[in-house]
Amino acid sequence: MLFLPRFSHAQNQPLLASKRSTTQQQTAIFMMIFHTSMFRAAWIIALLPLIAACKSTSSVAQSERHSAEAQSQSPASTTPPQTAQTLPSGDPQPYFPTVPADADTVVTISGLKYVEYQIGTGAEVKKGMKVKVDYAGYLLTGKLFDTSIRSIGQDNSFDRGGYPFQPLDLTVGVGQVIQGWDEGLTTNMRVGGMRRLIIPANLGYGPQGMRPTIPPNATLVFDVKMLEAK
C-alpha cells in the first residue's frame, strides 16, 4: 500500500496569498501609470489655448516692433504738432509775438492755463477795475473766431459782422465775460502785459457752446494784451 504525503489546505495558503498580493501590486502600478498619463493629457489639453494665445501675442509684439523700427527709419516730420502754444498756425501775427514751444505754462487750480510772453510794467489788474483789452480768440484747430485787431482779422479773412475792430472795454472780475477771462486777466497781470489764455470748456461756453462760431465743450485760446486798467 502506497502512502502519499498529505498536504493540507492550510499549507497552500501562503503561496496563494503571495500570488494574489503580486497581482494586486501589478494592478495598482498599472492604475497609477494610467491615471498619471490621463492627468498629463488633461493638462496638455488645458494648456493648448494658452500656448496658442502666447504665440499670438508674440506675433503681435513682433509685428509692432517691426512697425516701430520702420517708423524710426522713416524721415522725421518737420511739421510740429499743433497745440495751444503753437497757435495760430502759419505766419506769425504782427501784433502778438510768437509763443515759444518751450514756454512755461502756468496752470491754476480751476484748470485755466496761461503763458506769459510779455510781462507788463504798469499797474496790476484787480477785480472790479475797468480795463481795455486787445485780443484774438482761436479754437484748437487754429480757426480764428473773434478779434479786436483789424490786421489779424484781415490776415484770417475774418469779418466781425458789422462790428468795428476795437479794444474791448469791460469791468473785470464781475461776470461781464466768461470765467476764464475774469480769472486770466486778474491773475498777476499788469498793464502792458501780453499772455496766452488756454481756457477749458467749463471756464468758457461749456456744453452749449456759442453757435455758430464755438462748438460745445470747446477749449478756447486767447491772445490778450492789457492796454489800460483803472
Residues 217 and 113 in one domain: yes
Domain assignment of residue 80, yes or no: no
Domain assignment of residue 76, yes or no: no
145 in active site: yes
178 in active site: yes
Residues 126 and 19 in one domain: no
138 in active site: no
Question: Could you tell me where the beta strands, DSSP code E, fall in the chain?
Answer: 106-107, 113-118, 130-139, 144-147, 168-171, 194-199, 220-229
Higher pLDDT, 188 or 25: 188
Residue 102 — pLDDT band, cuts 50, 70, 90? confident
**What distances in angstroms separate CA 193 from CA 23, 95, 165, 219, 227, one per listed residue?**
103, 13, 20, 23, 8
* Catalytic-role residue among 134, 214, 222, 223: 222
* Catalytic-role residue among 117, 138, 158, 205: 205
* Catalytic-role residue among 146, 149, 152, 199: 146
Domain assignment of residue 111, yes or no: yes
222 in active site: yes
Residue 8 — pLDDT band, cuts 50, 70, 90? very low
Average pLDDT on 61-81 reads 47
Is pLDDT above 70 for 1? no
Q: pLDDT tens-digit profile of 16-55?
A: 444 555 555 555 555 555 555 555 555 455 545 555 555 5
95 in active site: no
Residues 111 and 211 in one domain: yes
* Catalytic-role residue among 96, 114, 145, 158: 145
Is pLDDT above 50 for 81? no
* Catalytic-role residue among 135, 152, 182, 223: 135
Q: What is the pLDDT of residue 220?
A: 95
- Structural domain containing residue 43: 12-69
* Catalytic-role residue among 117, 138, 158, 178: 178
Query: 88 preceded by cis ω (within 30°)?
Result: yes
146 in active site: yes
Q: pLDDT tens-digit profile of 110-142?
A: 999 999 988 999 999 999 999 999 999 999 988
Number of other residues whose CB lies within 10 A of the CB of residue 122: 14
Average pLDDT on 44-72 reads 52
